[in-house]
Amino acid sequence: MIPVDSPPSTWSGRDDGSGPEHLRWHSAMSLERDTTPGGTALVGFCSDEGVRRNRGRPGAAEGPEALRAALGSMALAGPLRVFDAGDVRVADSDMEGGQRRLGLAVARLLDAGHLVTVLGGGHEVAYGSYLGIAGSSALASGARLGVLNLDAHFDLRSDPLPSSGTPFRQMAAHEAERGRTLNYAVLGIAQPSNTGALFATAGELGCRYLMDDDCTRTAAEEFVVDFLDSADVVHLSIDLDVLPAAVAPGVSAPAAYGVELAVIQHVCDIVARSGKLALLEVAELNPRLDIDNRTARTAARLIHRVVTRAAG
C-alpha cells in the first residue's frame, strides 16, 4: 500500500489509434500498482505551504495536475512501463506531515525497484523525496547518495521554520545526525539570487556549484560527470526557475538570466544514462503564472527525456 492522500485520476490526451505506432503517455499509463521491478512510478506532491512560508507566490500545489496534463499527449517512441501512484496533499499548513508521507511513499516505491518521479509542488518537495531515498534499502546497504539540484538558488536557508528555501540544509542536518556528509551539488546558481551568507553556508557544507554564467554545455557536462563519480545513487531535483524566464515563466521566482534549456536537457541525458538515477523530482511549476502552458510543457519534456532514457 502506497501512503497517498488521493488516488490517481484517469489520464487523457490525443488518441490517433490503438496500435503501438500511436503510443502516448496517457495510453501507456497504468493506474494499478506495478509490482515488477524496473518500471517508473509517478507520485504527486501538492503543496504551496513551503512557498508561502518563503514569501513566494502561491500556485505550485496545482503543479502535479498541470504536469500530468502536459505529459498525457506526449508521443512515445516505444513501450514504457509507468504507473501513477496518486498524490500526497498538504492540508492545514502541515507541510512536515506531507513531507513524511511523501518520504514513506518514495521509500516503498524505490524498494520495489522503480525509478521514482515526483511531481511538485514547491521545492519543499525535495526534503520529502530525500526522506524516502534516505530511508531506502539502497542507502541502508551502504550506497553513496548524491543530490544534484538544477536551480538558481542554493535553498540552504537556516530559517527556524522550514520552507521551500530550506530543504537542502535540512538534508545536510539529517545526514550529519547519521554521521554522514551530504553530497550536494547545484548547477545554475544565480549570484544575485543568493546572499553572501548562503554562499558561506554552501562552502561550510562542502557544496559544489556551477554558476549560471558558467553553464556552457562543456562546463556543465564536466561538472555533472565529476559529481556522478562521487555517487552510487542519485537524487535529481529540477527547480524550473533554473531556466530562463522566457522558457519557464510559470514559477514563483522567474530567472532574470537562467541556464539554456539545451544545457539542462543535456545534463538530464547524462544523469539518466548513468544508471545511477533513483529519483527525479520537478519543483516550482506554478500554473497560475504560466503562459500558454509553456513551463508545464517544458517540464513535461524534461520528465519525458529523463524517464525514456533511463528506461533504455
In tens digits, what is the pLDDT along the chain, a chain of 312 residues?
788 999 988 999 999 988 889 999 999 999 988 888 999 999 999 999 999 999 999 999 999 999 999 999 999 999 999 999 999 999 889 999 999 999 999 999 999 999 999 999 999 999 999 999 999 999 999 999 999 999 999 999 999 999 999 999 999 999 999 999 999 999 999 999 999 999 999 999 999 999 999 999 999 999 999 999 999 999 999 999 999 999 999 999 999 999 999 999 999 999 999 999 999 999 999 999 999 999 999 999 999 999 999 998
Q: pLDDT at position 163, please?
A: 97
Domains and CATH numbers, the chain: 20-310 (3.40.800.10)
Query: Nearest 5°: CA angle at 118, between 114 and 120?
Result: 175
C-alpha cell at 155: 535553498
C-alpha cell at 19: 496500435
CA distance 21 to 71: 17
Q: What count of other Cβ atoms lies within 10 Å of the Cβ of residue 179?
A: 6
Q: What are the start-end ranges of the H helices in the chain? A: 25-28, 49-53, 63-72, 95-111, 125-134, 137-140, 167-177, 196-204, 217-228, 261-273, 294-310
CA distance 311 to 25: 14
Residue with cell 504507473: 83
CA distance 167 to 174: 10
> 291 near 265, Cβ under 8 Å?
no
Sign of CA dihedral 157, 159, 163, 169: positive
Q: pLDDT at position 83, please?
A: 95
Q: pLDDT at position 1, please?
A: 79
Q: pLDDT at position 80, please?
A: 96
CA distance 235 to 8: 23
Q: pLDDT at position 34, please?
A: 82
Q: pLDDT at position 9, please?
A: 86
